[in-house]
Every structure is written in structure tokens, then in C-alpha cells.
Amino acid sequence: AQRQIAEGELAEIEAGANALLAESGIDLTIEVRWSREAAGKGELAPTCIECGEPFPRGRAVKECLRCGAKRTPKTVDKLDLQLSDRSGAADDLAGIGFQLSAAAWLRWERATRWSVAFIDEPFGSLDASNRRALAGKLGTMLGSRFGFNQAFVVAHDEGIMDALPQRVEIIASDEGSRFKT
């Protein structure tokens, strides 16, 4: 039951991430998977996925003795994002979409009023086109879909900082750090 609930919540986060990417003009979708078939070929599940009954050792038993469910391949539970594209920037873009969607889901689930996001180097390995597209939409993405009122974005790229509506820039020097707005 817990797994089914978790998979349902992950589906909501997936939908939010995909909507975010589409609204940002990024041609990329993600599919969230919680489990996948184990690496060993032909390994069978040690317990029934329907009722949890352990199967006897060996490969002979193909159905659960308690509930009659068919024995499935062994799976490994691990969160995995499957992407529609495997370009160099796809992992970063999918990660940003998924993390923002997950943060929004958690805020909603906990009914918290805290609405500040902290984003560290979100565009580091993106190409110029995707960096501009995402930087130009970041403020809107945070505010409209996900309801963040404020974000702390750590970035070293001038183009990203220029795309944000307001900023406090911290400048390091031999005499120490100073900031400008």
C-alpha cells in the first residue's frame, strides 16, 4: 500500500515537471520509475508482489501459493528518471524540473507557507540556447506554477544573472567579500 501511494505521488511530481518543461519551451519529457528489473537475467522475485508471501527457494514455483498471483521477475527499487532525449543538457533540465516540482509538492503536502527556493548552479552544463530559454523562464517557473516568492540562485554566468528580475551580487576580493544590488 505504501508503495502504491508513493508511486501516485511520484506521478504528480512527474506531471508537474513535464508541465514545467513544456511551459518553458523545452522539448523534453521525463518518466519517473521507482523500480526496474534486476540486472541478473531470469532472476525471479523472492516474494509475491500482490500479498508479500515468500516464494520457496528455486525457480520451480511460478505462482504464489497463497493468492495465486503470477511470479514476476526480481526488481530493484531505485528512483530513476527516464528522459525522452539524451542530449548533454537533458539530465540537468530534467533534474531542475523534477526538483522544483518535488519541492512544490512537498510544500503543498505539508501546507507550509515557506516559499523560498535555493538553486545552486542550475545551468552549469547547459548549452547557450537551453541556458537562455531556462534563465528567461526561471522567475515565471518559480512564481506561477510552483508559488515560490523568492529564490536564492547561485550562478557564475552573467547571462543567467541578467535574466533574473532582481539580484544581490556577491563579489569576492583579497580584502573580503562585498555585495551590490
User: In the chain, what are the helix, strand and coil shares in percent, each to the nearest 5?
Assistant: 35, 25, 40
DSSP characters for 99-144?
Answer: HHHHHHHHHHHHT----EEEEESTTTT--HHHHHHHHHHHHHIIII
* Tens digits of residue pLDDT in 10-60: 999 999 999 988 887 778 899 998 888 887 778 999 999 889 999 998 889
pTM: 0.69
Residue 64 has pLDDT above 70, yes or no: yes
pLDDT of res. 1: 61
Higher pLDDT: 122 or 63? It is 63
| pLDDT above 70: residue 88 | no
pLDDT of residue 29: 93
What pLDDT shows up at residue 180?
Answer: 80
Per-residue pLDDT tens over the stretch 133-175 = 677 777 777 776 777 888 888 877 776 677 676 777 788 889 9
What's the average model confidence in pLDDT over 1-17? 85
Q: Which of 113, 102, 139, 138 is nearest to 123 (CA)?
A: 138
| Per-residue pLDDT at 71 exceeds 90 | yes
Q: What letter does residue 58 receive in the DSSP assignment?
A: S
Q: In the block, which residue shows the cell 525471479?
A: 44
CB atoms within 10 A of CB 138: 24
Mean pLDDT of 74-78: 86
The DSSP 8-state label assigned to residue 63 in this structure reads B
